[in-house]
Amino acid sequence: MKVSQDLSILFHLRYDNNNSSGKATICVRITVTGFPRDGFSLGYKVDPTKFNKEAGIFMGKSAEAIEINNQLQHVRGELLRHYNLLKKQGSAVTPTMIKNAYLGVHQEKRTLLEVVDFHNGKFKEKVDKGKRENSTYKKWLTTKDKITAFLAGVLKMKDIPLERIEFSFAEDFFDYLTLTEGIQDNTAMKYLKNTKQLLKLAVQRKWLQCNPLQDYVCSYINPERDILTVAELSTLYHKEFSIPRLQEAKDAYVFMTLTGYAYKDAQLLTPDSITKYFDGEDWIVKNREKTWCRENVPLLPLAKEILRKYREHPHCVANNVLLPIKSNQRFNGYLKEIADLCGIEKNLTTHTARHTFATTVTLANGVPLETVSAMLGHKSIRTTQIYAKIVASKVSDDMRALKNRFNLSLPDSMLSVAVA
C-alpha cells in the first residue's frame, strides 16, 4: 500500500517449507523509491484463505482477526512515523533504515578515521575534477597521519568511536603535536582546526549528535612577516642581472609585489586572465587557487611593463602563461641569491611579495582596507586586518625614529607664546 510519494508498505504472506499445517506467516515489505526493498516477519501464522492480499487485512470478526488487524495498523503507522523522523534528519532514507528504527536496531557506529576517509575520498573526487588543489588534498592526508599517530601513541587505539571523543581530545592532541612531534603551535592548530571540521561533517551527516570540540578555540600567533620597504623594492626593481634565471625570478617577484598574487596564482596566469574592465583599464580577473575567491586586480604600469617584457619568452609561449615562473622550490632558492646580491637582509620568499603588496604598495599609500581585501581575494576582512596592524606598527616605529632625530629646542620667544 502506497502511504507517501516514495514509501510503500505492503503486508503479504510467506509460505514456510514443509509446512504441514497449511498456514502462512504475515510479513511486511517496505519499499522506498530508488532503494532495494526490505522487510521482516510479524510472527503471525494464519489461514491463507482468510487473508486479503489487496487490502492487507485478516478477514473476520473473531478476537484473532481484531488483534491481527490492530497490529497491522500499528505497524503501518509506526513505519510511517520512523520514515518521517528519518526524513527530517536530512539524509537519504532506505527501507533498511526504517526497519532498523522500528525494530530498535541501532545503526553501526562511525569512527573518527572512517569520517576522515569519507572526507578525503570526497575531496579526492573534487581534485580529480579540477575543483580543488592536490596540494590541499595532501594536507588532509597528513592530517589523517597525525590523528592516527596520536591515537596509537597516546590513546593506544587504532581508531576511536565518534561518541567517545571528548573536549580533552583536542587538548591532548595539541600537546602530542607540540611536545612529542615538536610541531610549531600554529601548525598544530591547523591540524586541530581540520579535526574540528571533520567532526562538524559528522554532525551534518547525522553520525554524531554534537561536536565535542565545538568550543575549542584554535588560537594563532601572528608571526613576524618580512615586507620590503619602498627603498628595498626600488633597489630590487632597478637591479639588472646577467644570469637569465635570476633576472626572470626578480621580475616575477616584483610583478607579485605589484599585484598581490601568490606563487601558484602568478604561475598560472594566462593571456586570457587580462581583460579590459568596466573602467577601460587592464585588469587581471581570476579566482584564487587556494580559496577559489575572486581576486580582481588592476594592472599598474610597472606590472604591465614586466608582462610586455616576457610576451615572446619561450617558456611563456610554450605554456601559454604570462611569466616564466619555475617550481616554487627553485624560485625561493633564486630569491635568496637575489636578496644577497641586492644587499637586502630579509628572507625573501614568494609570499613576502604578497605581504609587500598589502602593506608597502597599497595600505601605506592610503588604499582602503576593504579594497586591499578584495584585491587579495580574502574571504574575510579580518585576514586583511593583520596587514593593517603591520602598517600601524611601521608608522609608530618611523615616528619614534623621527622623534629621536627631530630634537630641536624651541626659542624662548616661542616658549613664551606657547605658555601664554
pLDDT at 419: 41
- Beta-carbon contacts of 95 under 8 Å, excluding residues fewer than 6 positions away, are 30, 31, 32, 35, 36, 37, 38, 39
pLDDT at 406: 62
pLDDT at 240: 93
Q: Please answer whether residues 354 and 260 qualify as being in contact, where contact means their C-beta atoms are separated by less than 8 angstroms.
A: yes
SS3 117: helix
Q: What is the CATH number of domain 230-403?
A: 1.10.443.10
Q: What is the largest CA-CA distance in the chain?
A: 128
pLDDT at 414: 44
Q: In sequence order, what DSSP letters do the residues of 184-227 get, joined into one string?
A: -HHHHHHHHHHHHHHHHHHHHTTSSSS-TTTT-----PPPP---
**Start-to-end Cα distance in the chain:** 100
Cell numbers given for 136: 590541499
Q: Please answer whether residues 13 and 48 qualify as being in contact, where contact means their C-beta atoms are separated by less than 8 angstroms.
A: yes
Distance (Å, whole) CA 43 – CA 25: 6
Q: Residue 56 CA to chain centroid, in angstroms?
A: 51
Interval 89-124: pLDDT, tens: 656 788 888 998 888 766 557 899 999 999 999 999
Between helix 301-309 and helix 244-259 the angle, nearest 10°, is: 150
pLDDT at 308: 93
pLDDT at 242: 93
Distance (Å, whole) CA 332 – CA 352: 11
Q: Where are the domains of the chain?
A: 7-103, 112-205, 230-403
pLDDT at 132: 86
Give alpha helix (H) positions in 260-380: 263-267, 301-309, 314-319, 328-342, 350-356, 369-376
Q: Please answer whether residues 14 and 41 qualify as being in contact, where contact means their C-beta atoms are separated by less than 8 angstroms.
A: yes
Which residue ranges of the chain lie beneath pLDDT 50?
409-410, 414-420
pLDDT at 108: 59
Q: How many CB atoms lie within 10 A of CB 123?
A: 18
